[in-house]
Amino acid sequence: MCSETSVAKRPSREEAEEAVRTLLRWAGDDPDREGLRGTPDRVVRSYGEFFAGYQQDPADILRRTFEETDGYDEMVVLRDIRVESYCEHHMVPIIGVAHVAYLPRRRVVGISKLARVVEVYAKRLQIQEKMTAQVANTIQEELDPLGVAVVIDANHQCMSTRGIHKTGVSMVTSRMLGAFRDDPITRREFFAMIGR
């Protein structure tokens, strides 16, 4: 479990469902009418999915690595990883894609694991800058590669379905470490690989 879970005791499921009933009443509806009777249970189960990342340690995901690569030392890029996250200010979706690259030092990791690291951080309440940095930092710390690059390109529903109501706006964030930060050629190659 992550340090973000070092909050006070987790409320019970019943307390969480009661909170949903309160919100339904606050919205102006009757939580006891037929159509809403199962809603607190459904919402709590949905929140279990949306915020599953608090129960997982992303470092664990990168533990298994492979060293038999016959000296492969070029960058590995995973493009267009779908991101479904939740804005920590409004608790509404942030939907987009992540591109993750690293330059192996000796070891490589199963490619699904890079997408899993993105998933763990996405399934928490986030701001995009922090999520981008967390993914890059974790890969750097666990794999000790020559460099890591993470770009996230996402739409924030808190900007499109409420507030300023601007659709079609995407936010692009990046975190470059090691060779991706220091070497302009490596950086350019990465941006070319992800089509930017």
Annotated binding site for Zn(2+): 87, 90, 158
Nearer CB in complex with ligand GTP: 75/118:
118
Instruction: Report the distance separating Cα 100 and Cα 175, nearest Å.
Output: 10
- Which residues in this chain contact ligand GTP in the complex, by CB under 6 A? 87, 89, 127-129, 156, 158-159, 163-164
Cβ 103 to Zn ion shortest distance, Å:
34
Per annotation, catalytic residue among 15, 89, 129, 141 = 89
Alpha carbons 124 and 156: distance in angstroms, whole number: 15
CB of 126 to ligand GTP, least distance (A): 7
Q: For the segment 154-173, give every residue that binds Zn ion (CB under 5 A).
A: 158
Q: Show the CA angle centred on residue 26, arms to residues 25 and 27, nearest 5°.
A: 90
Active site residue 87: yes
Which is closer to ligand GTP, CB of 97 or CB of 193? 97
Q: Which stretch binds Zn ion (CB under 5 A): 18-26, 47-55, 123-131, 153-161?
A: 153-161
Please return the burial class of 32, using the count of CB atoms within 10 Å of its CB with bins 0-12, 13-18 and 19+: exposed
Q: Indicate the pairing of strand 108-109 with strand 65-66.
A: antiparallel
Tokens 């009933």 -> residue: 21
The strand ranges marked E within the chain are: 65-66, 76-87, 93-103, 108-109, 125-126, 147-156, 171-178
Rounded least distance, CB 194 to Zn ion, Å: 25
- Give catalytic status of residue 90 as yes or no: yes
For 7, residues 6+ apart whose C-beta sits below 8 A from its C-beta are: none
CB of 128 to ligand GTP, least distance (A): 4
Q: Is 2 a catalytic residue?
A: no
User: What count of Cα atoms within 13 Å lies in the side-chain half-sphere of residue 123?
Assistant: 21
Is 128 an active-site residue? yes
DSSP bridge partners of 174: 151
164 touches, from Zn ion, ligand GTP, none (C-beta below 5 to 8 Å by class): ligand GTP
**Residue 90 binding Zn ion, by CB under 5 A:** yes
Choose, from 56, 128, 134, 140, the residue flagged as catalytic.
128
Residues contributing to the site for Zn ion (CB under 5 A):
87, 89-90, 158
Catalytic sites, residue numbers? 87-90, 128, 156, 158
